[in-house]
Structure 1
Amino acid sequence: MLIFIGLALTFVMVFAGYILSGGSMGIILKALPYELMIIFGSACGAYLMANSGGVLKHTFQGISKVIKGPKWGADDYKDALSLIYLLVKLMRQKGVIAVEPHIEDPESSKIFQHFPKIAADHHLVTFICDYIRMMTMNFEDPSQMEEAMDLDIARHEAEEHEPQHALQSMADGMPALGIVAAVLGIIKTMASINEPVDVLGRMVGGALVGTFLGIFLSYLIVGPMSQRLKQVLAEEHQMMKIIKVMLISHLQGNAPQVTVEIGRRNVPSHLMPGFAEMEEKVSELPPDLA
């Protein structure tokens, strides 16, 4: 919702200020389709040349994230904390062998399926299962496990941020594309140098629309979208980091309740459940899950 409010406020302030100062929208509206074709069209063409098909696919997903916001809400973080609590409690009470049926077939695991939104995220479930599986293979050194998980998270973050970096590069190049459009407009004007002054003035004004549009799209549309996508991705990656610290806490010998508290303290501040709230959530879990 905030993105639409921001867009509306941007357009109103820019164009209302222009009109109130005595500017005419006629020359802008006449030149806008052609200038937009040159600037945005060439920017999209350059984007296609500079990026792989995977990045292009994730770009559309990234724009959707900008509109919808982060995937995980407050209840999802409580579910993730509860899920790891159940898994580490099961390992602590019955040994790592007891958890194998759940990590080998999470689609049939009543622990995973009790939290459907977490279970539906293939990458997150794979991350959890892979590292618990490593524990069942006696890979239990907390330092080595943490290093392996950090590398995995860093790789995932780099891949997920590729569309954001591509969008930022697109935004950075748009002012220059605006200059290209303006220069083409001046070339057109110079070819009509014998026209009356009022005609030449409108042609120059139309050419300058290109410069305006390049800067406008860069700093007020594409650039802010790139920055917002960066924030959304950073918040979503926090879920994997929470899983990491909880599994490391378990390897360090902490009780499941302590592991939950360590994970809770890593939830983003505006979504962090209270201690009593999380304690109540854990106490309400069906006893047959673990």
Structure 2
Amino acid sequence: MAEQQRHSGAEVASFLLEREAEIIDSWRRLPFFDSGDNDPAQVERDCGAVVRALAEAVRTGDEDDPAAAPFNSLRGLFIELAGRRTRLGDSASEIAVEVGRLKGPVVHLWKSAGGHRGVEQTALLVDALGTLRVAVMEIAVATSAELIQQQQEQLLELSTPVIRLWRGILAVPLIGTLDSARSQIAMESLLQAIVDQGAEVAILDITGVSMVDTMVAQHLLKTVMAARMMGAECIISGIRPQIAQTMVQLGIDLEEVTTRAGLADALAFALTKIGYQVTAPGGAIGR
């Protein structure tokens, strides 16, 4: 039985290698390989690599194992192709459908090739093509998850901008719900900006923050302490009455932290701190 299976595998492998050019020609315009702006020569190389891997898989009896060496050798290619489709907006299931379309042309060539085409040989070919789909699907899912993670990180960074209000004065306007991830990014971004710009004062404005719990308050306090260690005074502005009551109820001590009612008050304090004089409305700001 094993000998018969090896013989069937060798027959299918020979078919794939002998008809490689025709298979490549039928694959090269399919979405999985060609997104419209690919180098035709590279598309041909990619298609050929997959055909040869399929041939090796059926020859070695690994047509059912997506982790086997023949499929694993294509991992880099699959990551590139699946990643490209993901960036174009395809989901993992849509990519799987695209890979599934590779089977039709191969099976058509197999059936039209003539000669003895037994059930076992056909099953080996179909199994190998199905395993190819599974291998790509696994990578597509991982690639989609990685892309989502990257997008979330980018959104977090965009949602915690560091703004230069004045020479030596920075501000981080925080809006929405604060969690540990956003708080950590805000702290890291602010500290890096303090170093890069030699800032003397940093303002954390939480006017747009809907809720502050113990964990978030601790992050804010850590940010204030870290800024001081970097040589900058840190001010927290925009503590609304509800948040102030919550912080009192939680026993959060802001005695050593400079606070101001709003961003304008914090900026006026910061300007004074670095040596400017802030006059009444209608006046000027100067040394």
Instruction: Give the shorter-chain TM-score range.
Output: 0.3 to 0.5
Normalised by the length of structure 1, the TM-score is 0.36
Larger Rg: 2
| TM norm structure 2 | 0.37
The higher-RCO structure (CA 8 Å, 6+ apart) is 1
